[in-house]
Amino acid sequence: MGRVTVENLVKRFREKVAVDDVSFEVNDGEFLVLVGPSGCGKTTTLRLLAGLEAATEGEIRFGERVVNRVRPRDRNVAMVFQDYAIFPHMTVYDNVAYGLRSRRTPRALTHRRVMEATRKFRIEHLLWRKPRQLSGGERQRVALSRAMVRDAELYLYDEPLSNLDAQLRHQAREDVLALHEEKRRPSLYVTHDQSEAMALGDRIAVMRDGRLEQIGTGHELYERPRNLFVAFFIGTPSMNLFDVELRLEGERLVASSGAFRLRLPDEMRPVLAGHVGKRLRLGIRPEDLHVPRMAPFPVNQENTLRGVVNVIEPTSAGSTTYLSTLEAEPRDFVATFKVRMPSTYLDKEVPLAVNARNVHLFDPETELSLLHGA
Ligand SMILES: Nc1ncnc2c1ncn2[C@@H]1O[C@H](COP(=O)(O)OP(=O)(O)O)[C@@H](O)[C@H]1O
Ligand SMILES: [Mg+2]
């Protein structure tokens, strides 16, 4: 029992490498989210943990026990799928009871567990219905109830909320976390949606092309992305990226792209010294661009980017503004504000102040972050 460890896990399907030397741990009681674009190997990773696929290389341990050769039903894993995988010919009650009955659990205990779980997920009035008589949200709660009745060593979720509409998804996230709170076992949750990952994960593991790019808290991935992929994938709208040249002008370190010149904080000089004269990619998060009079730092010529406002989108938090600049390449960028930007700014050129302390710099060849690379 306890933590689940994956070490140098590889899964090949003929010549296709679906999982490429992946290592991570899910600590006891931890809710780890595996996130990445479609096809990056998330489902395969889950299936390896459940024992539905055999690893080509590497080791999977539950606590101290190596489970590579343990059959799926002996691994004691509970899994919630995207399509819920509930039996269409069985009632809700029988679907929820199924896992306990197949493990020969006494009837009275099975009944009590089914009633507790279905009450918790608000489907106790639907026990005698068949799945086709249920809405998508209700089916999803049948799948969660079925995981709830089990005492598994590991809980796996494969995009369980992606078939729900946005309204239901928020409630469903709460339901998933309620299940986790109750069990407090290692849990691995897969999604392609970075905002869902940020909302749910104690830690988040970012995958691309079968490889693990970075693992950390949502905060760490957001503030200290190790490479361009993580930087761009985490956060919405995505980080703005500009092609810049790094220059040392006297004592001042400057990232410049055409007319746009950003003075970088002196603290960055030791790390960046070896890159002076090189072309780099400068990353600026949309919320690190400020309307000058509201900027929480002094504004001057050396931290201002001018852009023409193309679109203003009101959001619950303020507004998202899409702009084009003539000063830097590429030209289009996005800024988010905690206030509404009046529509009178449309088509006008405005100065925006860049919070230079929060910018990111990447080597365009290796795509590694120069500031948070280690
Ligand atoms: N049984 C299989 N045979 C061959 N290729 C597979 C098989 N299962 C998955 N793949 C391939 O492995 C890659 C990862 O798939 P998958 O784990 O389903 O990705 P994700 O869940 O992240 O979308 C994809 O390129 C997919 O086509
Ligand atoms: Mg998948």
Q: Which domains does the chain have, with CATH numbers?
A: 4-233 (3.40.50.300), 240-362 (no CATH)
Task: Look at residue 369 in the predicted model and tell me its pLDDT.
Answer: 97
Task: Look at residue 83 in the predicted model and tell me its pLDDT.
Answer: 75
- The pLDDT-based confidence of 1 (bands split at 50, 70, 90) is low
Ligand 1 and 69: CB distance under 6 A: no
Q: What's the rounded mean pLDDT across residues 342-368?
A: 96
- The pLDDT-based confidence of 374 (bands split at 50, 70, 90) is low
Nearest to 22 by CA among 208, 156, 169: 208
Chain mean position to CA 330:
26
DSSP 8-state secondary structure symbol assigned to residue 12: E
Q: What's the rounded mean pLDDT across residues 127-155?
A: 92
Task: Look at residue 322 in the predicted model and tell me its pLDDT.
Answer: 97
Q: At what angle do helices 107-120 and 136-148 cross, to 10 degrees?
A: 140
Q: What's the rounded mean pLDDT across residues 167-182?
A: 89
Q: What is the pLDDT of residues 36-45, one digit of tens each?
A: 999 999 999 9
DSSP 8-state secondary structure symbol assigned to residue 368: B
The share of the chain scoring above pLDDT 70, in percent, equals 99
When mean pLDDT is compared across 22-31, 80-89, 106-115, 306-315, the lowest value belongs to: 80-89
Residue whose CA lies nearest to ligand 1 atom number 17: 41
| Number of C-beta neighbours around residue 340 at 10 A | 11
Spatial separation of the C-alpha atoms in residues 7 and 48, rounded to whole Å: 12
Strands 349-354 and 289-290: antiparallel
Residues 6+ apart with CB under 8 A from 360: 225, 231, 239, 282, 283, 284, 369, 371, 372
Q: How many CA atoms lie within 13 A of 146 on its CB side?
A: 30
Task: Look at residue 258 in the predicted model and tell me its pLDDT.
Answer: 87
Q: Which of 14, 42, 44 to mutate to test the pocket of ligand 1 (most atoms within 8 A of CB)?
A: 44
Atom from ligand 1 closest to the CA of residue 190: 21
Determine the residue type at 67: V
Does 373 score more than 80 pLDDT?
Answer: no
Q: How many CA atoms lie within 13 A of 343 on its CB side?
A: 2
Q: What is the pLDDT of residues 303-336, one digit of tens each?
A: 999 999 999 999 988 999 999 998 988 999 999 9
Task: Please state the φ and ψ torsions of residue 231, each to the nearest 5 degrees.
Answer: -60, -45
Classified as helix, coil or strand, 152 is coil
- The pLDDT-based confidence of 162 (bands split at 50, 70, 90) is confident
Ligand 1 and 40: CB distance under 6 A: yes
- The pLDDT-based confidence of 165 (bands split at 50, 70, 90) is confident
CB-based contact 220:27 (threshold 8 Å): no
Indicate which ligand has the atom closest to the C-alpha of 158.
2
Ligand 1 and 34: CB distance under 6 A: no
Does 130 score more than 70 pLDDT?
Answer: yes
pLDDT averaged over every residue in the chain:
94
Specify the pTM: 0.93
Ligand 1 and 301: CB distance under 6 A: no
Ligand 1 and 148: CB distance under 6 A: no
Q: Which of 14, 15, 16 to mutate to test the pocket of ligand 1 (most atoms within 8 A of CB)?
A: 16
CB-based contact 49:156 (threshold 8 Å): yes
Q: What's the rounded mean pLDDT across residues 338-353?
A: 93
SS3 letters across 48-67: HHHCCCCCCEEEEEECCEEC
Does 84 score more than 80 pLDDT?
Answer: no
Task: Look at residue 45 in the predicted model and tell me its pLDDT.
Answer: 98
Q: What is the pLDDT of residues 197-210, one digit of tens each?
A: 999 999 999 999 99
CB-based contact 62:153 (threshold 8 Å): yes
Indicate which ligand has the atom closest to the C-alpha of 42.
1
Nearest to 32 by CA among 17, 49, 20, 19: 49
